[in-house]
A and B are shown apart, each in its own frame.
Chain A
Amino acid sequence: MRLDEQTRPDFPILQRIVNGHPLVYLDSGASSQKPRSVIEAMNRYYERSHANVHRSIHTLGEEATELYELARDSVQRFIGAASREEVVFTRGTTDGLGLIAETIGRTLAKDDEIVVTELEHHSNLIPWQLVARDRGAHLKAVPVLADGTLDMAALDRLITRRTRVVAFAHVSNVLGTITPVAEIVRRARAVDAITVVDGAQAAPHLRLDMPSLGCDFYVFSAHKMLGPTGIGVMYGRRAVLDSLEPGRGGSEMIKEVWIDRAQWNDLPWRFEPGTPPIAEAVGLTAAIEYLEKVGMERVGEHEQALTRQTLEGFARTAGVTVYGPPASVDRGAVVAFAVEGLHPHDVAALLDAEGIAVRAGHHCAMPLMRRLGVVGTSRATFSVFNSPDEVSLLLAAVAGLRSAL
């Protein structure tokens, strides 16, 4: 049985009729849909177990704490982290990257260097711009080559003895490029730079194993991987987390407090001020269980097949340009495309009239758009529930677009 035939009944939203057509949801790269098990787990939590975590000495408080901490164990297993202390919950990828930038930022000095890449989402660029401005540090970007891959020769020139941070995406949210994480980490480590990986587009699609990637930080969101909005994960290598002061203050992240000072809590709570997203953690556990049951290898294969089908279909469609590495290369479940003579927003609006949801615009990657020489693109992204038939509907609709306006 094909994966989508198995999974589609689990996603209630796929029953939606949009503009008279069954929903074809090709925007999981922005936010995926949720299986029933995730929705029900969160409902069950709110209906039976909700209370605040960690300091409530009553039955519900203990249940909520147990469920919240169970999510940490699930994430540890899912990403192959060495210990649960390395798993910090955030509000999402952007929040996690901001937290890392603020925390590491305090340790930077004037003329230190931060290396990013041209294909970064703004969330992995702007926090570093702010840090660079505040600390008098310099921000440098690894160029993207014509085939959508990073210029690794330039990386060698850009990483110097002054480099303190190398921050980059695992999978480009526009091009689908899978970056060579372990190789970049190796080169960064040669100068003792801290490595920060934006895994927002990778975690939903690839089997992750932190020790083999070797990075210091790895950040992702639950809502792009079948889980709820409002929670994300910041993995931090134990030795690095131990060496850092907390970036943000509040309750939960302290052991003892005086008016003028405080003693920090143990890991991972040192980096989790305030009441955390508890129901969302419960939902994340259910999402991970769903993905693990399917198997990440099978998830990856299914989405690669849909991506190839889309790329090959668009290659045969007159007036359609696609961006990123060729279909023969392993890439993320992302296809950015342009239709000659049409603006990406009009493409999305016309496809929506057929019930097909795609993203359009700059995808929060304006420097990359500039490199591609476009204002924006349209973008189809895939998840476990998408079918080859849906890709065929997309291809047919796009083929008819040029006469539509």
Chain B
Amino acid sequence: MSAAAHGVYSDVIRERWRKPRHRGEVPGANAVAEDVNPLCGDRVRMMLTVAPDGRIEAAGFIGDSCAICTASADVVADLVTGRSRADAAALEVADVLNVLQSEIRPTRMRCVTLPVSVLGQALNGSKRA
């Protein structure tokens, strides 16, 4: 594979695709949601453990997803851990893009936004899986 291909994704995306920090079931998760990207069929399930005081103690994800979507889910889980429910709900796509440090084409933007949207569903209790 040429050097050009290595420039397709940032090091952050490649690193988090190879070794995601938050991939896997979250035992005792009490805020869970799952959704699909209708464009590609990718599926992401976000799992959160929310303490009685509203603080997110643990976050994780599982899913069938591409490198960008996997990296996005991993970053989302990273960013919300330790936050209050309200702070987590305020997470924006821009926050994730900021960490990913990669130019995302319009056709792949849904790969980034899916985990953010699933996070919102988990926090709202809508579309519980």
Q: Could you list which residues of chain A lie within 8 angstroms of chain B, going by C-beta atoms?
A: 19-21, 343-346, 349-350, 352-354, 360-362, 366, 369, 375-376, 397, 400-401, 403-405
A346 to B64, CA, bound (A): 13
Report which of B1, B40, B66 forms a contact with A401, defined as CB distance below 8 A: B1
Is B8 a contact partner of A345 (Cβ separation < 8 A)?
A: no
Q: Are A376 and B40 interface neighbours, CB within 8 A?
A: yes
A401: chain B residues at CB < 8 Å are 1, 5
Q: How far is the CB of B9 from chain A (nearest CB, A)?
A: 7
Main secondary structure of the interface of B (DSSP, over half): mixed
With contact pairs A345-B108, A400-B1, A401-B1 given, residues A353 and B41 touching in the complex (Cβ less than 8 Å): no
Q: How far is the CB of B45 from chain A (nearest CB, A)?
A: 14
Closest 8 A/B residue pairs (Cβ): A343-B66, A400-B1, A404-B1, A345-B66, A375-B64, A362-B41, A353-B5, A361-B40
Q: Mark B1-20, 1 if CB is under 8 A from A, else 0.
A: 11011111100001001100
Query: Contact at B1–A369, with CB atoms within 8 Å?
Result: no
Chain B residues within 8 Å of A362, by CB: 40-41
Main secondary structure of the interface of A (DSSP, over half): mixed
Distance in angstroms between the alpha carbons of A353 and B6 in the assembled complex: 9
In the complex the two chains form, what is the Cα distance from A237 to B63 in whole Å? 47
Task: Choose among B6, B41, B68 the residue that contacts A366 (Cβ–Cβ < 8 A).
Answer: B41
Residue of A nearest to B64 (CB): A375
| B6→A404 contact, CB < 8 A | yes
Residue B21 is within 8 A (CB to CB) of chain A in the complex: no
What B residues does A397 contact at CB under 8 A? 1
Nearest CB in chain A: distance from B94 CB, A: 22
**Given pairs A361-B40, A404-B5, 12 additional interface contacts (CB within 8 A):** A19-B4, A343-B65, A349-B108, A350-B1, A350-B8, A353-B2, A354-B5, A375-B41, A376-B40, A404-B6, A405-B9, A405-B14
The reply to whether the CB of B39 lies closer than 8 angstroms to some CB of chain A is yes
